[in-house]
Structure 1
Amino acid sequence: MKNIIKKLNVLLRITVVSLLIFIMQSQTTTVQAAQNNKTESGASKVYMRGLYIPNHHSRNLKFIKALVANGKTSGINMLVLDVHSYGSTVLKVNKSVIDYLKSENIYVTGRVVCFQDGITKLPIPAAQMKTLNALVTSAADSGFDEIQLDYIRFADEKRPYKLKTRYEVIEEMLKNFRSITNERKIKLSADVFGRIVYNRDDLIGQKLELFAAYTDVIYPMLSGRNSERWS
């Protein structure tokens, strides 16, 4: 009986793996077909399928090469690389990684965490803003196709600041970061809580219309409570 159960478990695992491979191949074929159709029609839009890479891996050229070799078969044509390690504001970018990715026609995005836990106090210290501006500027000078702003928001808790004030603070930062990327002719994007797509007057100070005015791309983050639909 134990041998039969063992064989059934092995068979089940093989079936699941085969199904996953089939799904990935089907999705890749669909994406490639869509890209081909777009190209034939003369349109410039390209479907992007990307992966996020933490900083310690994003600087490892050997790791990146292996990732690209395996990822291309699944339609991966974009990588989002952390430009600094967790809790740090020091730029850590391997230029050879970026050059390699571009040689492989991989769209490269540099992710910058603006406020790890959200803004908790106003005014934001001048030294902190100076450091953040320098980090975004250095990242923009590193050869990325796009700079992605993450955690550009207030803390997800009640604070004695009016919504109007929160919007103004975030808008001023977006305006400044946009000027940095415009000067270098690269794109600017931002991660936002998934719930603000449905929300109005969210206490974190993120508003879809506000971000749309200054960014080329908006990435709604769907995870846990952040993706709950609020009314």
Structure 2
Amino acid sequence: MPAKTRNGVDFPVGSDPYNLTPDMKKAFESANLTIPVTNKAARDGLASQFPGNTLPVNQRVARGDIPGLIETWTGTRWISNAGAIHLELDFAAPINIANSPWGPGSPSQMTAGINQDASRNPSQFSFPSNNQVKFAIEGLYALSWAVTDFSRQAGGLILINKGANGGQILASKSIGVGSSDITAERPSAHLLAGQIVTFSFRTTEAVSCRHLLSITKIG
């Protein structure tokens, strides 16, 4: 009957039948070694090499496209405490309603707007509801959000709030009528794991626009 080493590797005991090649394969696979992958696509395709197309929980990968980044599979998503953590969204949004609270969009719109080339370890962020970003790791974060390329000039207000229901204001900016963009920035904010940040804006005219949202873990 196979036994386990103190670091969790399966190995045969003396009473087991001699079966060298399968036993060596089982030992290496049970070690749950960190697997090098060339990029995100290779990481996402890794499950196909496991039984049932299912990665074991705590499987780790080393990203070749982001040196130093080790990611771990939780069973539902990839997380990491190593390497740069940066989220960048860049996408066009449909027309809003004048003088009404608005935001970047739905979870699917925000997910589709992730700039994969500019972002680093974006799996540390999720979008639980409209206009919201959820943070996986506690830390200090710099936040910047620009609503730009207005289809017509307008005044307005932009807000970044800690919490899902308009809690503490982290950043705000108002611009007089006749502008074509609004930007709010917070150089440093301490956010806990699981914290939700809400993004909202209002303009005096109905406009279509573009969202440029940047979040960087700085400590």
Query: TM-score, normalization: structure 1?
Result: 0.29
Please say which structure displays the higher CA radius of gyration. Answer: 2
Query: TM-score, normalization: structure 2?
Result: 0.30
Higher helix share: 1
Higher relative contact order (CA 8 A, sep 6+): 2
